[in-house]
Every structure is written in structure tokens, then in C-alpha cells.
Structure 1
Amino acid sequence: MPRLKKKGASNLDTLPNVVMVEPSNAELVSVKKHARTTRNAKNKRRTQKDPIELSPDQQELVNIKNSLGLRHQDYAILLGIGLPRLSSYTYGRTASVPADVMKTARQLLAENAEATRLLKEKFNRPMSEILQEWENKLGTTSDAELAGLIGVVTMTINRWRKNETKPDLSALNRYDRIVNLVVNNIKQLVLR
């Protein structure tokens, strides 16, 4: 007795056989090339954003930070604002910079311009020479010991020794102050 077909159901026996055929190498190359071209076009559009034009106050804020040799986070602290707020000014995400922030930045520059100039002059040499000076002061040649004293990893000391990298001015000043503090503490222990 033949089975009755329910309404809306399909009979699998009546479907045609499907044979899968592997694509040729030329077809595969064409598909991959198209995907790569599409991906590259998207990446190009993503990276080709128009450069953001900063307002005169925003540009002055950036210039002051650079001339003082400050890291972004240190600059934000000195200005008395949060890092996200400073970033919104220096990356042009806001229309203008408040007058009180500009006043503080200009005051920082006026008060610290000479000290910054002296720091730049002091550290205007290869990092390997600065390391050598620190080692002489501390009486050590061990990268691990020096790294532990100033609070960096040994790999950083290694890169500095090869002059591959150099900390920014505020970090250099901080490390130099640590070295001098350690040297002074050692002298005081010896004098006792």
C-alpha cells in the first residue's frame, strides 16, 4: 500500500542527485584574489582618514607638552584633568580647550621651560652613555641589578645599552633621580 504524502512535506526520493565538483585552481585563485582585494580596499579606506586639524589652542596644548618632554599621563596630572579629557583636546575630538586648562598649560611652560631645557641638554646623548654613568655612580655592571634598582625589566636595559630605545624626558629624569637617591642612601649608610 503506497504511503500518502502529507501536505507540504517533500519526498526525498524525487530530488535530483547533486554531484559536488571541486573548483579548479584558477577559480580558487580568482576567489582568493577577490577576497584579498576587497579586504585591502576596506583597510585602505579605514587608514586613509583625513588628518584631524587641531584648533590653535589644541595645537598649542600639544606643543607645550612636547616642549616640556612630558608623557601624556603626566601632562594630564599637571593640568589637573583626566587623561580622557586631555586626549579629547589633543586629538581634536572636542571643539576647543577651556581657558583655565590653557592658562595652566601656559603657566607650566613658563615655570618649567628652563628646567626642561637643562634636562634636554643633560640627556642629549646616547642611552648607552647615560647607562654607563648610572653604573659608575652605583658601582654595578649587572643589567639585572640596575634594572631592579630603577624599576624596569632587564630586557629594557639591554635595549638601552644597544641604543635601540630611549625613555622620554620625564622618565629619564625619574630614573636619574632614583639613581641619585640610591647613591645618596648608600653614602649615608657608609658614613654611619
Structure 2
Amino acid sequence: MSKEKTKGKSALDALPSITMVKPVEPEVVSVRKIAKTARNTKNKRKTARETIELSKDQQELVDIRKKLGLRHQDYAIMLGIGLPRLSSYTYGRTASVPADVMKTARQLLAENGETSRQLKEKFERPMSEIIGEWEMRLGTSTDAEIADLIGVVTMTINRWRKNETKPDLSALNRYDRIVTLIANTIKQHS
């Protein structure tokens, strides 16, 4: 028996010693920290986009759009190009702007520059005043009625009335023409 004990001891003694280690708990990362990191990453990308320098033609293309008071969509149509193509020029994703596009843009400015200046002056006042004028011309008194007549949602009229937002010049001109057409129709039928 003692031989077996000796054998058992020597067999156990032959095994490597085991040291118990307390398990390490994984690091808990809060959702806020992850969200903040994602936000910071987005901000870094925006900063990188803002630092892109436009060529002389690209900057002129942007300036002409602003002088004309056009939305990107309308400007692209007037230039006879697609919106993605216009965006590639105005955001500096292409090296240059083709000569035919620049020629068309300069013609648009020459032909419509004075009209755009007059429109800017006409709509320079607060949006709440413009809405008030439209109400008088249309003979309406509620946001819902004006919204239905010009084709926007009531919340948009509400924001305009509070001067929180204002449509771009081309949209303002479009809405004003709609109001004029409706007002003239009302006068004819009265």
C-alpha cells in the first residue's frame, strides 16, 4: 500500500502546478461613449470636406448659382446637366469644369442676373411679412388654406410665419407666381 501511495504522490508531483487567477472582467463601454466617438468621426469627415479648395471655375460656378439664387436641382436643369455631375463640380470632386458648362453658367448669369437681383430685393423682407401679403392677396386666413393653395404642408407655413425658415429665391418666386395666378383667377370670377 505504501508503494501505491508513493506512486500516487510521485504521479501528482509530476503534474505542473496550477495557479488560480481571478478572471478579468471585460471593459464595459457605454453607448454614449460609442455614440460620441461616432459623432467625432463624422465631424472629422466634415472638416476634411470643408478644407477642399475649389478651382477658379468651380468657385465661379458656385458663385453664379448663389447670385442667381437657385437651388442645386434647378441650377443643374438650367445648365443641362445632372445633379450628381453638378455636385461633383461644386464640391471639388472633379479636377475641372468643362468649358461648355462654364459658358452656359455665364450666359445664365448675363441673362438672369438683373432679374435675380430684383427678386432678392423683393423677397429681402422677413418671411412672415411675405405670408401676410399672400394672405391678403388670396383672401385666406389659415395656414392650412395657404399651404393647400401653394402646395406645401401646413408645418412649413407655420415655420415661415415664425421666420424660422425661408425658401430659397427660386422657390419663393415660384410660390409668389402661384399666389399671383390664383389671386388673378379669383378677381376674374368675382
TM-score, structure 1 normalization:
0.79
Tell me by how many angstroms 1:188 deviates.
1.8
Tell me by how many angstroms 1:20 deviates.
8.7
Specify the alignment match of 2:54 in structure 1: 54
Can you give the 5+ residue segments of structure 2 that lack an aligned partner in the other structure?
1-17
- Report the RMSD for the aligned CA atoms in angstroms: 2.7
Can you give the 5+ residue segments of structure 1 that lack an aligned partner in the other structure?
1-15
Q: Partner letter of residue 112 of structure 1?
A: N
Specify the alignment match of 2:14 in structure 1: none
Specify the alignment match of 1:3 in structure 2: none
| 1:120 maps to 2:102 | no
C-alpha distance 44-59 of structure 1, shift in aligned 2 (>3 A): closer
C-alpha distance 145-32 of structure 1, shift in aligned 2 (>3 A): closer
C-alpha distance 174-39 of structure 1, shift in aligned 2 (>3 A): closer
- Size of the aligned set, in residue pairs, is 169
| 1:176 maps to 2:171 | no
| 1:89 maps to 2:89 | yes
Specify the alignment match of 1:71 in structure 2: 71
Q: Partner letter of residue 45 of structure 2?
A: R
In structure 1, what is the Cα distance between the partners aligned to 2:132 and 2:37?
Answer: 52
Specify the alignment match of 1:9 in structure 2: none
**Partner SS state of residue 48, structure 2:** coil
**Partner SS state of residue 165, structure 2:** coil
Specify the alignment match of 1:130 in structure 2: 130
Larger radius of gyration: 2
| 1:154 maps to 2:174 | no
* CA deviation string 1:16-50 (max 9, x = no partner): 9x9996849xx64xx559x6586576455434416
Tell me by how many angstroms 1:93 deviates.
0.8
In structure 1, what is the Cα distance between the partners aligned to 2:43 and 2:173?
Answer: 40
In structure 1, what is the Cα distance between the partners aligned to 2:135 and 2:47?
Answer: 46
* CA deviation string 1:138-175 (max 9, x = no partner): 01111100000000000010011111110000000000
In structure 1, what is the Cα distance between the partners aligned to 2:37 and 2:176?
Answer: 51
In structure 1, what is the Cα distance between the partners aligned to 2:136 and 2:121?
Answer: 20
Specify the alignment match of 2:5 in structure 1: none
**Partner SS state of residue 49, structure 1:** helix
C-alpha distance 73-22 of structure 1, shift in aligned 2 (>3 A): same
In structure 1, what is the Cα distance between the partners aligned to 2:84 and 2:163?
Answer: 32
**Partner SS state of residue 54, structure 1:** coil
